[in-house]
Amino acid sequence: MGVLTGKTALVTGASRGIGRGIAERLGRDGARVAVHYGREETAAKQTVAAIEAAGGSAFPLGVELGTPGDAERLWTEFDRHADGLDILVHNAGIGTARPFTEINEEEYDRLFAVNVKAPFFLTRLGAERLRDGGRVVAISSGLSRTAAMPDLMAYSMTKAALDVFTRDLSKVLGPRGITVNSVAPGIVDTDVNAPWLRTSDEAWRRAAGYSALGRVGTPADIADVVAFLVSQDGRWVTGHWLDATGGSLT
């Protein structure tokens, strides 16, 4: 039996990349996983299939975040499959790389709607479903605390806001034995980063050079950190921002 046997987990943005890595790891640890996706239904079903092929249990959950009523719709759909929740992982997010002088209000509002507003209201409306002793983990970014990268300003601002949310939420949910933490990846080899990360050997070497360990991160690197926080071993860690950049901030 896995360490999460009998637990139910929801991972947002779990159809690919870091989210898929987290969903698959929690599935291997025994949790039943709600694999949330926004638009990529086929990819989400592939994640579910991978979890089931490894002996786990999972189901897809399709709701586009950043739209009016998104939290209500997600929980309505979730309730059709499960009667409670033990682990909530806020992984879904969008980014932009645009100069300060070019980003417009629509793009700015969209970033905050998906990256900040959705996790806030998903948690607020889902708190009654979250069992005592549960876990909440938000996937932040090393960019919220590292050297300035102006073209990623708005994105970094959303992650800093998410960090404050998780820190303060730990005090709100703490009396119920629920831990709340942020995990901050650095550069990770995902399809989102592939367009620039894999443009050349030099781009890859430069990215690997940011890490003290001399390599680019993988989704499994982040998933394993999340797995620790949501397990019994992570019971005494809450309100914490965990640097999972591979030493990129040192």
Given a contact cutoff of 8 angstroms between Cβ atoms, the answer to whether 176 and 132 are in contact is: yes
What DSSP designation does 103 have?
-
Given a contact cutoff of 8 angstroms between Cβ atoms, the answer to whether 72 and 87 are in contact is: no
Judging by DSSP bridges, how do beta strands 8-11 and 240-244 pair with one another?
A: unpaired
Torsion, Cα 117 121 124 129, to 10 degrees, reads -130
Q: For residues 3 and 9, what is the distance between their CA atoms, to the nearest angstrom?
A: 13
Give φ, ψ of 155 to 5 degrees: -60, -45
**Residue 122's CB: how many other CB atoms inside 10 A?**
25
HSE-CB of 42 using CA atoms within 13 angstroms: 0
Residue 30, phi-psi category: left (phi > 0), alpha (psi -120 to 50), beta (remainder):
left
> Catalytic amino acids?
140-141, 155, 159
Total residue length of the chain: 250
